[in-house]
Amino acid sequence: MTPSSLQAGATSSPAQPAPQDQAEPIARERLNLIEQITQAAVSSDYAADQAAGWPDAGHRRQRVLVAAAALALAGFVLALGVSARIINAPVVNTQRAALIERIAAVDARQEALGDDVEALRLEVAQLREINLQVTSEGRLLADSIADLELATGYVAVEGPGAVVTLTDAPFDEASEEPDLERVLDSDIQLTVNGLWAAGAEAIAINGQRLTAQSAIRSAASAILVNYRPLKPPYLVEAIGPADLADRFGRTPDAAELQGVSEQFGIGLEASPVDQVRLRPATAPLPAEGTVVGPEEGEAQ
């Protein structure tokens, strides 16, 4: 299918400038106040010098020598700092490279463990299915367990849905607010909320499956999902109705995202997909839950 881009937008009207006849008197009063403070400070300094008597040539010479010695000392300290930094640079670079290598190794190990968890869960589900299919009560229980596993993100799911892609704006060195021109955790939260509202049944962000206990947060310049740092571009995959992308485009969350995209240049695209597979969540998973009836849900 052809990707469908979001068309909804948000515009804002420029603020009305203050009347000229009101702005000028206030500005002039500020200038007059600054001039009065400056003049008073200078006058007081001259008055103190005149009362104490002007310094002679010897005092001036001493002051020049003291200032020169202070500048020389500051330059010496600065030179020591620069030299130490240059000397320690190879050690720092080596430590940074080693730390990056350790992080990559831990990430690879965690991915491998995630694959093992998925395989073991599938094996357990197959054995459980064999045991429960013996009786009618067991078959009913198996269906209930399958529904719960889907809702909690315990198992992998496949089906049609949509993919929303968020990308940072092109880097501009002259930009005054570069942090506002990249995807924020709030942008991903809007995307997820809009997809849930549009009828999504399961969602994953860059492979991280969302559960009832998932958190989408930021730490410095990184976005964390399930306490795992993600790298752009951000792919929000969702399983739901075949027209999930169109439904998402009509939500208020998508309209707000479109406004952010137009204002700060962030890439935003929603595309329908015929088949998408979401891996099971490894952590965090709900430990217990309570069934909420329709009346209780409306009351909350």
CATH number of the domain enclosing 142: 3.30.70.1880
The answer as to whether 147 is a domain residue is yes
> What does the DSSP 8-state code read for residue 4?
B
The answer as to whether 48 is a domain residue is no
CA distance 15 to 20: 15
The answer as to whether 130 is a domain residue is yes
pLDDT at 237: 96
The answer as to whether 228 is a domain residue is yes
* Per-residue confidence in pLDDT tens, the chain, 300 aa: 444 444 333 333 444 444 444 444 444 454 455 556 555 554 554 454 455 554 555 566 667 677 777 877 787 777 777 666 677 667 677 877 888 788 778 878 877 877 787 788 778 878 888 888 878 888 888 888 888 887 788 888 899 999 999 999 887 666 666 667 889 999 999 999 999 999 999 999 999 999 888 889 988 778 999 888 898 999 999 999 999 999 999 999 999 999 999 988 899 999 999 999 998 887 666 666 676 666 665 544
Domain total in the chain: 1
pLDDT at 226: 86
CA distance 247 to 198: 5
Q: How many CB atoms lie within 10 A of CB 300?
A: 6
The answer as to whether 139 is a domain residue is yes
- Joined together, the tokens standing for residue 179 give 């942090």
The answer as to whether 68 is a domain residue is no
pLDDT at 44: 52
- Joined together, the tokens standing for residue 77 give 């300290």
The answer as to whether 256 is a domain residue is yes
Domain that holds residue 138: 117-278
The answer as to whether 52 is a domain residue is no
CA distance 9 to 258: 5
